[in-house]
Structure 1
């Protein structure tokens, strides 16, 4: 199968005479897959139970006759107005108690039995009609799952979820720490979602509702997935993930898909967009266990929802598309095929922009399609894996918990911590995977844990065992603080890892904006740090760097400890970027982690996939490279 190439196609927005033009232009551009039906529920079911599939029959037949495959979507991300009008209880309610109305998209309560019944009905009707259509290549379930609701139906489902998790009210009260602020529950009916309250909501109530929110949406997805799969199990099923999205646990969702799919919209005005794009693509590859994944959505031009919707400069869509292929994608799709003349996304970029095919964007799309077709013919690329010697721990629970209200620093952001560790390795052309805290580390020379605020016993034992048998770990600050019930570890931090890292933290010491620590280090060179520090003391570890001056004078902030046959580094602050880069370069050298291609000019990215090495220039000027690529 060739590299997939295409985008979202919304023929219901256009008269039939445009459809013939579309398929002609698709063939000209080399398109071989389009996603159809994402927002077409009202067109497919204009009234409850009355289906109109005639137009979709024509579209799918037309696409098939022209050699274009279809990713057919269940249209349940955007219910039709008739559903909300007739059944207001299908509409979502915010934590403020206010119900959101129809007239946009994502206007559904995931707990509503009426919504679920309607969603399964349309999904089943589509599958019954098209599961064996020759154009069908892939099922696309819903779209960008993420809506939350705090209504009475969700409260009832939440109580059921809590009963399954904790068993009884006594266990719930113990886990939630309801002795604080007289919050003890005496009946299940008293337990609510975290609604708007006079002050601060119970933190584990908040965290559990985030967990529940991911699980209840996953129920919606799997129900529709099973409904379509039952008609033809041979057709693979996916849904589109969003990069750096906290509310749906990617690890839990990925195992329920046949292929992981990504929607990503880096900002062309962001000088770090290339790095952030690489990071999101590495996450998707990792969620799928290293298997090939699909770039489901990116804009060929502007993303209309940005405050400043600058289009991609010439060549940038090609660069970021090839970056996806280099990092494991077997397909490159876009949102959308033809620019919408009306509606909320009328200013959004498209493969065929408002200017039509006689345009820079469409010419670039045609060029990209031809290039991907050529890449499809080379050996040792499609279906191949991307090797990595470094794993970065990514944990959704730790992410959510670290950002709960009333933490020591409300500006401490989990993804920022991941980015700080990922970026210097990306710049050094060292490829990283992402891994679960309890995942398999033995295949990696180095494991980075920028932050793991919450730690399970299994994750604690897993990391300790990896170090003990010879692995190297770098652990960032504000880690090992609490268990999954948001119960703080007593006796010092990083909780269960004090012996592994040879350090005991007595106090977290967040720093106000503008306060900079001076840090002395003979090994790494002196540097500065900001935002976060800790009152720590070495308990067997070597002190590599310590604070100079101020109330933390002499406190260690970089420590290295031998534990068993391995090495554990603890970083108790947020070093300046160049200092962290030096530290990670040192650790990589010590562990034998090498760049894909060393000595490249800044801004030139190197990635190996299968038998091929991709060199991607993120600079505006030309880079000349003279280098023998290793076998």
Structure 2
């Protein structure tokens, strides 16, 4: 982050865990606004994001502006003690703009135009769109920069959610500029991309296109670089808006909402985090609550363990899954407090009042269609009271753990390219399974960017760390020789930053450190598993691992197929630390058999009493000498918190099903 700055508050106002939602008053008659404010105050709301999709309302035609309604909304909220996270409104261009300038519309890899009618129908590299968007940002900054009710700027919205990959001529031109800056000369690109293969050698950057639809497989490094470029193009738009806001309103912090959740991977958020004053994130449950906790921990890692803003999540059902079920007892509160446990200092939803029309009218909100006399609104009010009780937590950092899981966007993009040993590999799934297995063992863990400082961790797990540069190899070796324990999995250390294979045998960049050598991969069929001597079964992947160093300890061997008796999991002391290798995907159940062996050797033990391990998730926040523990019931049963001493800020020693206790 540039310089961690939080929401502005009036002088003398104590910091709190903020609470609120996206607020869309322009969808409602004026008489509803007063009712909204009454219900917000009743629920304890102190911040709302306004004008996210209001460009067409603010600028109904080129050269015409209408700010009167927004003036009134901001004044009304401020008079009632509710701060405004004011959006720049650039997320969705109005119909007049795309009618006058259809050249701002994105193109798919097949050359098809993405037409208006939804949202985010704009090219991140379009100079025409950029000019109109920045004019809007400047107008907003000039008008509201001195308003005491504006507590933060909200750049765009979910940058790249729908328009991350544009293959237009604008994108092609910008891609060439990006490539020339990266490689310097065309021969550097030819080497990195391996263009001697399939007669792809380029004579100049002008000959290069985005990886549009082609026969066979597009060049893999071209695809990887296009993913990097696309992330950078979105980041560049963020910076362009931020620079105007910083110039005109230097005292107001700037953020934008990331999407660290599920398989959303278009933005390298560890990189983007350097461009905002505080990290914000949107998260919706798609794969169960362990993925929610993993994403919250990764958001904390991206934020450098400083407080962050949960900009969007849902009170109950969403509208965009094939089947949309409501949340049930305690889930609204538990999901929110899990994010707080991992560092969120603001809890907000999409949205405040459930829309009566439009594509998201069946998406839940803080005030449902049924109004205040509803289960959801009563839970909203209950959560508001709980957050008031958590003021001692506000401003505190998330306390680092003994264990870290490395997360790397380059490895995510690269490991799932086409023309690989298997197309079944899912990078994030492997990482989440390690996270879940650690929680099942009662181990608190961090999820951190691959280039984070690792010196404070006893154990670092690197799932599918596919891309390892020379610099990263040196950092990992220094971590191990300095006393840390590193565990790498299959398909790690395979390529450098250019997706060129490290020669000499796998796992390439890590082979010498691990003391092993693999000649070829042996991916498994969909319905195939392979036995290990520790009682676990591997899936997806296996390898014939040759132990080439005398001091390598074999922790598990394969017990089936032509690999019978061969090493499956290894451990090697190196310097003051150790490095281990897991050559197959074990899933959560298989990792349960392996983790005790790894944790014992790394000197890692659970902080929880034995009866709570696996049933309760632990997260810790610390400010100075104040240490606050969050104990989250992962089960649908009541759990007694025997052995947990301290002042209960939330809950008590009997955790309700899906309940949360907060203990200082």
- Contact 1:468-1:566 at 8 Å conserved across structures: yes
Secondary structure of the structure 2 residue equivalent to 1:548: coil
Cα distance in 2, alignment partners of residues 500 and 491 from structure 1: 14
Report the counterpart of residue 627 of structure 1 in structure 2.
Answer: 643
Secondary structure of the structure 1 residue equivalent to 2:640: coil
Shift in CA distance, 628/318, structure 1 to aligned 2, threshold 3 Å: closer
Cα distance in 1, alignment partners of residues 614 and 227 from structure 2: 40
Select the residue among 131, 135, 139 that pairs with 1:125: 139
Q: Deviations over 1:153-206 (max 9, x none)?
A: 110110011111111222211111111111112232221000001221111111
Report the counterpart of residue 512 of structure 1 in structure 2.
Answer: 525
For 1:613-624, what aligned pairs fall within 5 Å after superposition?
A: 613-624=629-640
| TM-score normalised to structure 1 length | 0.96
Cα distance in 2, alignment partners of residues 249 and 498 from structure 1: 27
Cα distance in 1, alignment partners of residues 447 and 217 from structure 2: 33
Report the counterpart of residue 80 of structure 2 in structure 1.
Answer: 66
Secondary structure of the structure 2 residue equivalent to 1:296: strand
Q: In the alignment, is residue 256 of structure 1 matched against residue 239 of structure 2?
A: no
Cα distance in 1, alignment partners of residues 378 and 351 from structure 2: 16
Secondary structure of the structure 2 residue equivalent to 1:217: helix
Structure 1 residue 598, shift from structure 2 partner: 2.7
Cα distance in 1, alignment partners of residues 517 and 173 from structure 2: 43
Report the counterpart of residue 233 of structure 1 in structure 2.
Answer: 250
Cα distance in 1, alignment partners of residues 459 and 177 from structure 2: 41
Report the counterpart of residue 619 of structure 2 in structure 1.
Answer: 607
Report the counterpart of residue 419 of structure 2 in structure 1.
Answer: 406
Q: In the alignment, is residue 362 of structure 1 matched against residue 371 of structure 2?
A: no
Report the counterpart of residue 214 of structure 1 in structure 2.
Answer: 231
| Structure 2 unaligned regions, length at least 5 | 1-14, 647-663
Cα distance in 2, alignment partners of residues 24 and 423 from structure 1: 41
For 1:36-55, what aligned pairs fall within 5 Å after superposition?
A: 36-55=50-69
Select the residue among 516, 526, 545 that pairs with 1:536: 545
Shift in CA distance, 69/616, structure 1 to aligned 2, threshold 3 Å: same
Shift in CA distance, 628/618, structure 1 to aligned 2, threshold 3 Å: closer
Q: In the alignment, is residue 91 of structure 1 matched against residue 105 of structure 2?
A: yes
Structure 1 residue 303, shift from structure 2 partner: 0.8
Q: In the alignment, is residue 318 of structure 1 matched against residue 333 of structure 2?
A: yes
Cα distance in 1, alignment partners of residues 316 and 510 from structure 2: 47
Report the counterpart of residue 199 of structure 1 in structure 2.
Answer: 216
Report the counterpart of residue 198 of structure 2 in structure 1.
Answer: 181
Q: Deviations over 1:18-63 (max 9, x none)?
A: 1111111111111000000110110011111211000000000000
For 1:539-558, what aligned pairs fall within 5 Å after superposition?
A: 539-540=548-549, 541-558=552-569
For 1:110-149, what aligned pairs fall within 5 Å after superposition?
A: 110-146=124-160, 147=163, 148-149=165-166
Q: In the alignment, is residue 438 of structure 1 matched against residue 451 of structure 2?
A: yes
Q: In the alignment, is residue 591 of structure 1 matched against residue 613 of structure 2?
A: no
Select the residue among 325, 338, 343 that pairs with 1:328: 343
For 1:134-533, what aligned pairs fall within 5 Å after superposition?
A: 134-146=148-160, 147=163, 148-244=165-261, 245-267=264-286, 273-376=288-391, 378=392, 382-520=395-533, 525-533=534-542
Cα distance in 1, alignment partners of residues 644 and 600 from structure 2: 21
Secondary structure of the structure 2 residue equivalent to 1:448: strand
| Structure 1 unaligned regions, length at least 5 | none
Secondary structure of the structure 2 residue equivalent to 1:615: strand
Shift in CA distance, 411/462, structure 1 to aligned 2, threshold 3 Å: same
Cα distance in 1, alignment partners of residues 591 and 188 from structure 2: 43
Cα distance in 1, alignment partners of residues 417 and 596 from structure 2: 32
Report the counterpart of residue 650 of structure 2 in structure 1.
Answer: none
Structure 1 residue 589, shift from structure 2 partner: 3.0
Structure 1 residue 381, shift from structure 2 partner: 5.1
Cα distance in 1, alignment partners of residues 440 and 63 from structure 2: 55
RMSD (Å) for aligned C-alpha atoms? 1.4
Secondary structure of the structure 2 residue equivalent to 1:34: strand
Shift in CA distance, 614/85, structure 1 to aligned 2, threshold 3 Å: same
Cα distance in 2, alignment partners of residues 469 and 134 from structure 1: 50
Shift in CA distance, 576/263, structure 1 to aligned 2, threshold 3 Å: closer
Cα distance in 1, alignment partners of residues 497 and 601 from structure 2: 33
Q: Deviations over 1:346-400 (max 9, x none)?
A: 1000000000111111111011111111211x3x554233231111111111110
Structure 1 residue 535, shift from structure 2 partner: 1.7
Secondary structure of the structure 1 residue equivalent to 2:175: helix
Q: Deviations over 1:425-461 (max 9, x none)?
A: 1223322222333331111111110111111001100
Select the residue among 10, 29, 36 that pairs with 2:43: 29
Secondary structure of the structure 2 residue equivalent to 1:27: helix
Cα distance in 2, alignment partners of residues 424 and 209 from structure 1: 34
Secondary structure of the structure 2 residue equivalent to 1:347: coil
Secondary structure of the structure 2 residue equivalent to 1:574: coil
Cα distance in 2, alignment partners of residues 126 and 435 from structure 1: 36
Cα distance in 2, alignment partners of residues 374 and 55 from structure 1: 35
- Contact 1:603-1:618 at 8 Å conserved across structures: yes
Cα distance in 1, alignment partners of residues 587 and 40 from structure 2: 48
Structure 1 residue 326, shift from structure 2 partner: 1.1
Structure 1 residue 213, shift from structure 2 partner: 0.1
Secondary structure of the structure 1 residue equivalent to 2:562: coil
Shift in CA distance, 601/442, structure 1 to aligned 2, threshold 3 Å: closer
Cα distance in 2, alignment partners of residues 602 and 84 from structure 1: 53
Secondary structure of the structure 2 residue equivalent to 1:517: strand
Cα distance in 2, alignment partners of residues 601 and 429 from structure 1: 4
Q: Deviations over 1:596-628 (max 9, x none)?
A: 323206432222222211121232232222114
User: Which range moves more in the overlay, 116-125 or 585-594?
Assistant: 585-594
User: Which range moves more in the overlay, 341-350 or 483-492?
Assistant: 483-492
Shift in CA distance, 553/590, structure 1 to aligned 2, threshold 3 Å: closer
Structure 1 residue 547, shift from structure 2 partner: 1.3
Structure 1 residue 323, shift from structure 2 partner: 0.9
